[in-house]
Structure 1
Amino acid sequence: MDIPYDSSAPVRAGIPEHGRVPKYYAVKAKIVPLLDELGEGGTLPTERDLAVRFEVSRETVRQALRELVLEGRLRRAGRGTVVAGPKLAQPLSLASYTEGVRKQGRVPGRHLIGLERHPCPERLAGELAVERGTPVWHMERVLLADDERVGIESTYIAVERVPDLERDFDPDSSFYGYLSERVGIRFGDADERLETVLATPREALLVGTSPALPMLLIHRLSRDTEGRPLERVRSLYRGDRFSFTTHLGDGN
């Protein structure tokens, strides 16, 4: 017998080998077609209405909805629940956040949380190849896509590399564009590490999401075209709104 294949679905569509499907998962499977009917931004019926329709308890419906929210298929809006749009597929490359979001027809934006100078701690000094105590900028911004808060970005860079950052840089614009066009610094390469984490209460508040929502965390150390360390970036993205893509090839 041929096995149905859907690249967007989990293996065997989530059905365990013993064939017994949890009640909440059966309800979830019935809700999914409803999302396609409603379309992006459509308001889902209430938990009570769904419980009556599918003849299950409200807690069963609530568990099904929780999973759909975590998967990014639904989002909370006030006291209701609406159908979410597709996730942003950000490339793992030297391209900036701005470029990646624009390519998907969305409007990128940022909201400055803080821009401060600090003496560089020992570990960061080793990564940026500067002396401990050297002044570094720490810039923290909320990332936006069509005015929706989708992540937080923290950037560390030596003050000597961008001494006029506080005066010349528009925090709502691309930092990569500023370095290239205003400062004349070109990116050469970078090392990245991607992991899943839970947001701290502060981060969840800034992004406007639940602390229980899985987040995608990227650590990046960038270098200029001469191989000199340039910036250390910690980017936290909402797991329900982002996915990441990369191209793999034969390394030979």
Structure 2
Amino acid sequence: MESRRVPTVRAVDERPSRHRAGEPVRAGIPEHGRIPRYYAVKARLLDLVAELGEGAALPAERELAERFGVSRVTLRQAVGELVLEGRLRRRQGSGTFVAPPKLVQPLALVSYTEGMRRQGVAPGRTAITIERLAADDGLAEELRIERGDTVAHLERVLLADGARVGLESTYLPERRFPGLVEEFDPTTSLYAYLRERRGVVFAEAEERLETVLATPREALLIGTNPALPMLLLHRVSFDPHGVPIERVRSLYRGDRFSFVTRLRADS
């Protein structure tokens, strides 16, 4: 009689799970069950943050260290991670406070202005540079122009309800947009200007997102710590004929921004 192998059935682990719905799997706890002390403190701090609510001040460092039964060094490590993640915010001379929710910018063909207004946030910009430059090899290739051709360059600090949150550099072919440097008000929406004054239609874009650290100059302009992770977006936008309109490099504070997009299956 022919025999066959019966698959081994693994027993279900009926021990209480440490993974709560909606959290990262097992809430960051390694399989061996041992976690760094600072991480346990961080988890308890997150519960406290949820309890206190946006804008509330964190209790004094000494009080928290005593409450959690850890050293102040361990507590500082846990608090420092939550600051980097944008859950807490330090104010010089005032203390540490529960941060507001992150701003959500869509990965779509909408301007920064539109993205902020959808969230009830007042957008703004401070002009740093508006000039003409000669295109180098990389820029010429992306904009499909000749090396050395003139481009308009706009560098602006991005504001959200008056606070500095990012830095944006935009390059546009001068031949296609003559007089833009003199005519455009850099404190306003470039997309609105191009649509309404130049008749430009944005049809599609190629966009790349990565994490970087700001240069000392960028950190100074944005008003952030150079060690804070930043989100870098590199975009080339195209009109309905596939002709490049602009190249944009946008740098956003990682503690203030997240990005969202909707994915669809290819037809």
TM-score (norm 2): 0.90
The more displaced of 146-155 and 49-58 is 49-58
Closer, same or farther in 2 for the Cα pair 1:177/1:70, shift >3 Å?
Answer: same
- 2:257 partner letter: F
Q: Does 1:82 align with 2:64?
A: no
- What RMSD over aligned residues (CA atoms) do the two structures have, in Å? 1.4
Match of 2:194 among 153, 156, 179: 179
CA distance in 2: counterparts of 1:6 and 1:174, whole angstroms: 41
CA distance in 2: counterparts of 1:21 and 1:5, whole angstroms: 17
> Which residue number in structure 1 is paired with residue 10 of structure 2?
none
CA distance in 1: counterparts of 2:233 and 2:198, whole angstroms: 25
Secondary structure class of the residue paired with 2:21:
coil
CA distance in 2: counterparts of 1:51 and 1:76, whole angstroms: 18
Match of 2:145 among 123, 126, 130: 130
Secondary structure class of the residue paired with 2:203:
strand
> Which residue number in structure 2 is paired with residue 213 of structure 1?
228
Match of 2:242 among 219, 223, 227: 227
- 2:88 partner letter: L
Gaps of 5+ in 2: 1-13
Q: Does 1:152 align with 2:162?
A: no
> Which residue number in structure 1 is paired with residue 218 of structure 2?
203
CA distance in 2: counterparts of 1:239 and 1:107, whole angstroms: 19
> Which residue number in structure 1 is paired with residue 184 of structure 2?
169
- 2:21 partner letter: D
- 2:214 partner letter: A
Residue 35 (structure 1) shift: 1.4
Gaps of 5+ in 1: none
TM-score (norm 1): 0.95
Q: Percent identity?
A: 63
Give matches, 1:1-252, under 5 Å: 1=14, 3=17, 4-7=19-22, 9-79=23-93, 80-252=95-267
Aligned residues between the structures: 251
Report the structure number with the largest CA radius of gyration: 2
In the TM superposition, what whole-angstrom CA distance separates every residue of 1:38-73 from its partner, at most 9, and x where no partner exists? 221111123222212222111111100111011110
